[in-house]
Structure 1
Amino acid sequence: MARCRLGTMKKVCFFTSVMILCLYTVFYKMCIQNGNLLLKNGSNSTETKRLEYNLIQCGTQDILRSKEDVDRSNPEYVNQGSSSRIFEAALKDQLHSEIILRINNSRIKRSSKSEIQFKEMAVSKDLLPESLANGDSSRRQQAKEPSIVSNTAAKPTKIKLSLKKQWNSWMIWNEDSSSSNLNRRLRTVKNNYASMNKYAVNFTGTRKSKKLSSKELLCELKQRVQVASVEFGDEPFATCDWQELIPSKNLTQALGPFKTCAVVASAGSILRSGLGREIDGHDAVLRFNGAPTIGFESDVGRRTTIRIINSQVLSRQEHKFHDNNLYRTGVLLVWDPAPYSANLTEWFNHPDYDFFENYKKYRKKNPNQPFYIINPKMQWQLWNIVQEITAENIQRNPPSSGLMGILLMMTLCDQTDVYEFLPSKRRTDLCHYYERFQDQACTMGAYHPLMFEKNLVKRINHGTDEEIHNQGKVTLPGFRTFQCPNTE
C-alpha cells in the first residue's frame, strides 16, 4: 500500500515539474520580448531626456548671462564690491527672459497640453559665466533663474526651443550714467574731487538744457578742442636749447593722415579678447603709458604707432623711463595737468610733475625718437564740454589720457576704433591687463571724470551695440570726414 502511494506521489511530482517547466518557458519568452521593447523605449526616453537637458542648459546659460549683466546695473550689487559696470538700467524689465521648451512625446504625457513650473534650477559651475563661476557662493545664488516653462503635447518625439530674448538690446554702457550708479566709496571720492579745486577751475560755461545729438556733440569737439603740441617759439620754449629738443614739425604735420586707427585701452577686460589681429590691421595704433605688447599679442596686437604717457612716467624712478625699451617705439607724447586758466609760462614754472628736465635728458640721449609735449589747453577745452553736457558737477580735474588720445586720433584719422574704453561682456575690476591690481575706480573714475567721459564717447559712437558688447569696440568718425554749421 505504501509502495502504491509512493508511486502516485512520484507521478504527481513529475507532471507538476513538467507543467512548471512549460509555464517558465512561456513566461521567459514573454519577458524577453517585453524586455527588448522596454529597452528600445527606454533608449528613446533617455535620448529625449538628454536633448531636453541640453536645451535647458543652453537656455539657462543665456539667462544667467543676461541676469548677471542686469544685476550689475543695480547699485546694491555694485556696493558688494563686485566686478560690476554701469549698464542699461532700463533693461531690468527684460531680466526674466522666458525659455519655452515644447517636447512632443506621447509616452511622457498623454494629455494634450500641460505645464511644469520649475521655481528654481540649480546650475553647475561649468554652466556659469567665468565671472560668476569664480565668485563666492552668494553671487552664484543670485544666478538662479526663477522660472523655466516646459510644455508637453501628445505626438511622437519632436523637440522645439524658442528663446524669447531681446537680442537688439545688448548690455552696454548707459550713456546717462550718474553718481547714483556709483558705490558709496566712489561716490564719496567723486564728490570730494568735485569740491576740491587744486587746478583753480573757474567754469563759466552753460549747461546744455537739452541733450545734444551725436552730430551736435561731434561738432562741439571739432570746433572747440584744439589738439596741438608745444612748438618752438612758444613762451617759454623760445630759447636755443629748446630749439634743438622740440621736433621741428608739429604733431599734426608729423602724423597722419590715416584711414583707420585703433585706440587700445589698457583695461583688464581686454584679456582673452583675441582682438590682436584686428587691432594690428589698422593703419595706426595708439597705446597708453607702460602698456606692453610682448606676451599679450593675441589680445592687444603687436604694433605701436603712438604712445601717450603722463608726466608721472617721466618723473618717477620706478617707471624707469630712460631704461625701458618700451618708450623707444613709435611716436611719444607726454601731457601734464596745468592750472585751469594758466598760460604756458605759468605752467612751465609750476608743473604738476616736474618732467621737463627728464624730457630734455631723454631727447639728448635719443635725438631720433619723435617726442612731443601736448599743449595743456587741450585738456581743459575738453573738460569744459564734458561738464556742459553733464547735469551734475564732475571732478574738477583734467580728463584721462584715454579721452585725450581718442580726440587726437579723431584729428588724425578718418575712422577710429576704440577698444575697451567702454567695457565689454568681459568687464572686470582688473585695472590693467598687464597687472593684477583691481579697483572699480579704474572703470568708473576717481581722480578723472572717467564715467562722464564714457557717457560722451557712447553718445558719439557710430558703431553698433553688439560691437560694444562683444568686442568693447566704439567706432568714431574723423573730424575731417564731416562738416559742421558755421557758428560765426
Structure 2
Amino acid sequence: MVRRRLWTMKKVFFFTSVTVLCLYMVFYKMCCQKGNLFLTNRSNSTETKRLEYNLIQWAIQEIVRDKKVIVGPNQEDVTQDSFPKTIEAAQNHQLSSGVILKTSDSRVNGSSNSEIQFKETAVSKDLLPTSMVNRYLSRVRQLKEPTIVHNTAAKSTKIKLTLKNQWNSWMIWNEESSSNNLNRRLQTVKNSYMSMNKYAVNFTGTRKLKKLSSKELLCELKQRVQVMSIEYGDEAFTTSDWQEYIPNKTLTQALGPFKMCAVVASAGSILRSKLGMEIDAHDAVLRFNGAPTIGFESDVGRRTTIRIVNSQVMSRQELKFHDNNLYRTGTLLVWDPAPYSANLTEWFKHPDYNFFENYKRYRKDNPNQLFYIINPKMQWQLWDILQENTAEDIQRNPPSSGMMGILLMMTICDQTDVYEFLPSKRQTDLCHYYEKFQDQACTIGAYHPLMFEKNLVKRINQGSDEEIYMKGKVTLPGFGTFQCPKT
C-alpha cells in the first residue's frame, strides 16, 4: 500500500513538473526570446487611420476612372506620396449618385445588407473630405468583405475592397522600452556591466524630469556632441610621424556636405528587404565594420562612401584588416573607447585595443585613402545625453558604432535615412545579415546601451511609422537644416 502511494505521488510530481516546465518555456519564448516587449502596437494610430482613408480613396478613384477589374492595391499604392497624383487623375470625372460602402455581413448593425453612404460628392481637390471619411472609419473597420458600389444613371459598378491590410497590426519600436522587460540572461549581463564600470563612469549630470520634445532632443545633440577626429597637434599626437599619417583636412572638412545620406545597419532583418536600389540612390552611404555588399546587393546596395570600424576589427589578427579589400573602398573611420574622464594622453597610453601601430601601417600602405581616428570625447558626450533622458541607469559603456555613425551623417548631410537601426516587420535575432549567429542582445543591447539609443532615435524620427514597419527606415534632419536657441 505504501509503495503504491509513493508511486502515485511520484507520477503526480513528475507530470506536474513537466507541465510547469512546458508553461515556462512557452512564456519564455513569447515574452523574452522574440523581444515583443520592446515593440508597440499601433493599430489605432493616426498613421493607420490615414492609410485606411487613402485605401478608400484609392478604390473610389479607380471606379471613377472606369476600371472594370480591380485586384486590390499594393502597400505602395495607398501611401501618402502617391495619393495626390491619384486625385489629380480623377478630377475630370463626375459622380452623379455618390459612392456606397456596402457589406453583406449580418453581424453589422443587425442587418443582412449594411451600407455606409458617402453622399453625393463632385470630384474636386478633395474627392472625399478627410473629415467625412474619418467619421466613418470606425464603422468601416467592422465591415466583413466590404464592397464599394458606384452608381451612375447608366450603370452600377461593384468591387470588393479588402481593408485587412497588415498595417492594422503594426508592431514598431516602443520609445519607452525599459530594461525591466529584458529576459533574465540579459538582465544579468546588464547588471554585470553596471557593477564592472570598466570606464570609470562618474555621471554628475541631471536627469530630465520633463520629457524633451523631438526638436529639443535634436538641439541637445547638435549643441553638445562634437563630431570630430584626432588632429595633428592634439595632445599625444604632436610628433613628426603623426603629421605624416593624420589627414590634413578635418573630418567635417573632407566629408560632405551631402544632401541625402543613408546609414545601413548590419542587422539580419535587412535580408530580403529589396532596399538596395533605394540605398544606392543616396548621395553618400555609411556602413559598419566588416559588413559586405557583394552577394547582398539587392538588399543592402553596392555603394560605400564611409565605413566606421572599431579598434577591435583593426587589432585582431584573425579579422585580417590589412588584407581585406572590403576596407579599401571609401573613407575609413576608427574609434576606440577611452575612460569617461580621461584626457587624450591617458587614452593614448592605455587604449582599449592598441590599434595605433596598425593605423600607421595601413596609412603607409594606402596613403591616398582618407582614414580618421574619432576623438573619444564624442562617445561620452553622447552617452551623457542618453543617460540624462533615461529614467533608469543605462550601461556604463560607450554608445554603439551605429549611433556614432548616425550623428556623423546628421553633421554632414541635409537628411539622413537610417535603415534597420530600428527593426522592421522582418525583425529577427540574427545579429548580422552576413553571418548565422543569433542573439537577442544584438537588437536590444548588452555591452552598448543600444535599447536607449533606439528609444532616442525613435523620438527624433521625422518619418512615418509605416516606414519603420515596412523598411526599418528612420528619417533624421541634418544639424545644418534647423536653428536652436542660444544656450
TM-score, scaled relative to structure 2: 0.71
| Residue 254 of structure 1: how far off its partner (Å) | 0.5
| Residue 189 of structure 1: how far off its partner (Å) | 1.3
Matching residue of 1:425: 425
Among the aligned pairs, what percent are the same residue? 78
**Matches of 2:356 and 2:245 in 1, distance apart?**
11
| Superposition pairs of residues 445-464 of structure 1, within 5 angstroms | 445-464=445-464
Q: Residues 71-115 of structure 1: CA distance to partner in whole angstroms, max 9, x if unpaired?
A: xxx98555453364611167699xxxxxx995589xxxxx9759x
| Superposition pairs of residues 391-406 of structure 1, within 5 angstroms | 391-406=391-406
**Matches of 2:417 and 2:42 in 1, distance apart?**
27
Matching residue of 2:280: 280
Q: Residues 244-282 of structure 1: CA distance to partner in whole angstroms, max 9, x if unpaired?
A: 000011100101000010000000000000000000001
SS at match of 1:88: strand
Counterpart contact for 2:42–2:168, Cα < 8 Å: no
Q: Report the RMSD for the aligned CA atoms in angstroms.
A: 3.3
Q: Which one of the candidate residues 38, 44, 52 is aligned to 1:86? A: 38
The alpha-carbon distance between structure 1 residues 397 and 102, as it changes in their structure 2 partners (threshold 3 A), is same
Matching residue of 1:231: 231
Counterpart contact for 2:229–2:250, Cα < 8 Å: yes
Matching residue of 2:344: 344
The alpha-carbon distance between structure 1 residues 160 and 241, as it changes in their structure 2 partners (threshold 3 A), is closer
SS at match of 2:291: coil
> Larger Rg: 1 or 2?
1
The alpha-carbon distance between structure 1 residues 424 and 75, as it changes in their structure 2 partners (threshold 3 A), is farther
Counterpart contact for 1:75–1:180, Cα < 8 Å: no
| Superposition pairs of residues 79-228 of structure 1, within 5 angstroms | 79=31, 81-82=33-34, 84=36, 86-88=38-40, 102-103=103-104, 113=112, 163=163, 167=167, 170-228=170-228
| Residue 194 of structure 1: how far off its partner (Å) | 2.1
**Matches of 1:317 and 1:167 in 2, distance apart?**
46
Q: Residues 124-148 of structure 1: CA distance to partner in whole angstroms, max 9, x if unpaired?
A: xxxxxxxxxxxxxxxxxxxxxxxx9
Counterpart contact for 1:332–1:370, Cα < 8 Å: yes
TM-score, scaled relative to structure 1: 0.71
SS at match of 1:186: helix
The alpha-carbon distance between structure 1 residues 88 and 75, as it changes in their structure 2 partners (threshold 3 A), is farther
The alpha-carbon distance between structure 1 residues 75 and 197, as it changes in their structure 2 partners (threshold 3 A), is farther
**Matches of 2:342 and 2:400 in 1, distance apart?**
19
Moved over 3 A (4+): 74-80, 82-85, 89-93, 100-105, 111-114, 148-152, 158-170
**Matches of 1:218 and 1:149 in 2, distance apart?**
43
The alpha-carbon distance between structure 1 residues 265 and 178, as it changes in their structure 2 partners (threshold 3 A), is same
| Superposition pairs of residues 25-64 of structure 1, within 5 angstroms | none
The alpha-carbon distance between structure 1 residues 85 and 268, as it changes in their structure 2 partners (threshold 3 A), is farther
Which amino acid is the alignment partner of residue 81 of structure 1? Q
SS at match of 2:221: helix
Matching residue of 1:409: 409
Q: Residues 51-73 of structure 1: CA distance to partner in whole angstroms, max 9, x if unpaired?
A: xxxxxxxxxxxxxxxxxxxxxxx
| Residue 392 of structure 1: how far off its partner (Å) | 0.2
**Matches of 1:90 and 1:370 in 2, distance apart?**
44
| Residue 182 of structure 1: how far off its partner (Å) | 1.6
Q: Residues 159-202 of structure 1: CA distance to partner in whole angstroms, max 9, x if unpaired?
A: 96664789577321000100122212112211221222100000
Q: Residues 335-388 of structure 1: CA distance to partner in whole angstroms, max 9, x if unpaired?
A: 001000000000000000011111111111111111100000000000000000
The alpha-carbon distance between structure 1 residues 340 and 332, as it changes in their structure 2 partners (threshold 3 A), is same
Which amino acid is the alignment partner of residue 261 of structure 1? C
**Matches of 2:211 and 2:35 in 1, distance apart?**
30
Matched length: 373
Which amino acid is the alignment partner of residue 282 of structure 2? H
Q: Residues 13-69 of structure 1: CA distance to partner in whole angstroms, max 9, x if unpaired?
A: xxxxxxxxxxxxxxxxxxxxxxxxxxxxxxxxxxxxxxxxxxxxxxxxxxxxxxxxx
| 5+ long unaligned stretches in structure 2 | 1-25, 46-100, 114-141, 147-157
Q: Residues 228-254 of structure 1: CA distance to partner in whole angstroms, max 9, x if unpaired?
A: 000000111000010000001110010
Counterpart contact for 1:102–1:159, Cα < 8 Å: no
**Matches of 2:234 and 2:32 in 1, distance apart?**
51
SS at match of 2:285: strand
**Matches of 2:188 and 2:42 in 1, distance apart?**
25
Matching residue of 1:383: 383
2:354 paired with 1:354? yes
**Matches of 1:220 and 1:181 in 2, distance apart?**
28
2:479 paired with 1:479? yes
Counterpart contact for 1:423–1:472, Cα < 8 Å: yes
